[in-house]
Amino acid sequence: MHPTPLQLESHASCAGARVMPGVRRFRDYEAMRVLRKTICNVLLAVSVACSLLVSEGYGKLPINLVSQNDIARKFDDYGDLNTDDEAARLDAFAEELRQHPNLRGYIIGYNQPRKLRGSYLRRIYGDQHYLSWARGIEPSRVVVIDGGYRNEYRIELWLVPEGAPPPSPDPNISRPQINDATSYQFDLECLDCAPAVNLDLYGLRKEGLKFYADVLRNNPNLRGFLMVGARNTLNEARRARRILVRDYGIAANRIVIRIRYGVDGSNVEMWIVPRGASLPMATSNNSFNRSANSVAFIRETCLYRRFVAPG
């Protein structure tokens, strides 16, 4: 009776002899055959399990996670806040942009009918200026969208990945109709107001006057009327007129400055006056009579009567 390979290997090992090469190759072949069979069984089980997961819808989860990174996401949404509270929201928004350089920020503003349009525009674009000037975000990474009108003033902050479509505004009321024959107040700047954080663009400097100038440039039949209530506001109004003329190309005879009795001395009101429309109520018989009857002021009044008042 011939010994089996296993008996030969056992005998050789006990005798301290070297194992025959043919015997070792036989055992390696058997071990590999068993290993291959085990692997095939495991792969078959995994394949069946994956098929069951996909059929139940679990296989779609990673796809959804990836797609969420390619769409715009609303980061915050708030109403008319104090400037320090709003600055805190903007600080968190800036930090998110700083940590994710592949994102762009969008500011969508919604005005309400009772809020002056100029003040509204100076605030939403002032938020953009704050993120850039105070928080170091590149201006090109923050986009401002005038979203129209809602029942209440709202601000939305959005994060948008590169290549993703921007968010779409969602107003819920129509833009108020403006009577072409009636004067209306466009903006109001307070000289003595000191908010905790200054977010608004200053209404009597170039950046803040841009929106007032745009209205005047788009319709040559409109005139600008600056209503002031004190000597310091009169000087500011005159400086604002120089900016409108020099930087925005508005003809000097289309901008009139007037002192108004009973108006808060720290405010400058910016009105839009169509050709032939009546002016906001004003009088030269007030405590600033000396300024009201000055040569410069009389010249301004004459310019108004000549270029604005005629129909």
Q: pLDDT for 35-88, tens place per residue?
A: 667 776 766 665 655 555 445 544 443 434 334 468 999 999 999 999 999 999
CATH of domain 69-161: 3.30.1330.60
* Comma-separated ranges of CATH 3.30.1330.60 domains in the chain: 69-161
**Interhelix angle for 206-218 vs 117-133, to 10°?**
140
Classify residue 163 as left (phi > 0), alpha (psi -120 to 50) or beta: left
Lowest mean pLDDT among 30-34, 203-207, 266-270: 30-34
Check residue 45 and give its pLDDT. 64
Inform me whether the pLDDT recorded for 148 exceeds 80: yes
Query: What's the mean pLDDT in 162-175?
Result: 95
Inform me whether the pLDDT recorded for 194 exceeds 60: yes
Query: H or E element: which one contains 158?
Result: strand 154-161
pTM recorded for the entire structure: 0.70
Check residue 119 and give its pLDDT. 97
Is residue 28 classed as helix, strand or coil in its secondary structure? helix
Q: In what order do the strands lie in the sheet with 255-259?
A: 184-190, 267-274, 222-228, 255-259
Q: CATH classification of 184-307 is 3.10.450, yes or no?
A: no
Check residue 259 and give its pLDDT. 86
